[in-house]
Amino acid sequence: MLPDRILHQYETAKKNTNAIVGCGFHRLPADSTVRFTRWANSLDDQQLYHQQYTSYGPTVVMPTWFCERGVFDRVGGFSEEGKGTPEDLIFFYSHLDKGGELCKVPECLLIYRYHQNATTFSIHETTIWSVRLVRLQEHVLSTWPKFSIWNAGKQGRRLYRSLHPKFQDRVMAFCDVDVNKVGKTYSPPHQSQRAIPILHFRQVTPPLVICVKLDLTGGSFEENLKSLKLQEGIDYIHFS
């Protein structure tokens, strides 16, 4: 912890008694998890809620958490299921389900060390995927009568196949920028009678579940998304 961490987060927590309070952080070594660090440190107040479905996990990174004891007690503590359990993500979602709030002190108050033996590497990606998927379906897709999936490739199709059948039926289209995909259709396994159109991203009608990784295309994806003038949390959700 940097010297002023407790002071700054305590002052913020006093004003936000129902919140998990995070803060900015630096990585050690400095060149580790660069994209993750940039993402977590750049989220604004609304994105702390909107981007809770990405593969990065909690939008308030667990080592930065600071809260009143009552926040912890209301959730009931962490899962004790043991190794391989994404206990921080489960706690984070439970906190939100119980009306908990999120906020962050933007200043860097913590040095977050990266090492290859970290517990996070014991958690299988499919476990985290399943936890995120359940929440996406319960809290987002259940409110959307129809939607499309941005990414007609591997990740978009994986999402489609993972959805409950009732949500598969709500998928109107895929969209993409790949000229080799646009204009074609996708026939899901065991649904050969169904042909889901693959559109150019400028032709698609929101809402959208976006399965494109952030900060990985030199800014081109982000510029494409920005050009549509959509509202995050209403017109689209990231599930990358």
Q: What is the CB neighbour count within 10 angstroms for residue 42?
A: 11
Q: How far is CA 132 from the centre of its chain?
A: 8
The owner of tokens 């074609």 is 184
Band the pLDDT of 81: cuts 50, 70, 90: confident
Q: Which structural domains are found in the chain, ordered by start?
A: 5-125 (3.90.550.10), 146-238 (3.40.50)
The overall average pLDDT reported for the chain is 95
Q: Which residues contact 137 (CB under 8 A, 6 or more apart)?
A: 163, 164, 167
Q: Given this model, what pLDDT does residue 115 score?
A: 81
Residue type, 39: W
Q: Which residues, including other chains, have CB under 8 Å from residue 142's CB and lie 6 or more apart?
A: none
Q: Which residues are paired to 185 by β-bridges?
A: 197
Indicate the range of 1-10, 35-44, 114-123, 211-220 predicted with least confidence. Answer: 114-123
Grade residue 156 by pLDDT with cuts at 50, 70 and 90: very high
What's the mean pLDDT in 10-32? 97
**For 44-61, how does the pLDDT look when each residue is reduced to its tens digit (9 = 90+)?**
999 999 999 999 999 999
Average pLDDT over residues 141-168: 98
Contacts of 40 (CB under 8 A, 6+ apart): 25, 56, 59, 61
Residue 119 has pLDDT above 90, yes or no: no
Q: Which residue in 213, 206, 201 sits closest to 240, CA to CA?
A: 213
Whether 99 and 75 have beta carbons less than 8 Å apart is answered as: no
Residue 120 pLDDT > 80: no
Q: Are 25 and 40 spatial neighbours (Cβ–Cβ below 8 Å)?
A: yes
Query: Given CA atoms 81, 86, 92, 98 in this order, what sign does their dihedral have?
Result: negative
Peptide bond into 29 cis (omega under 30): yes
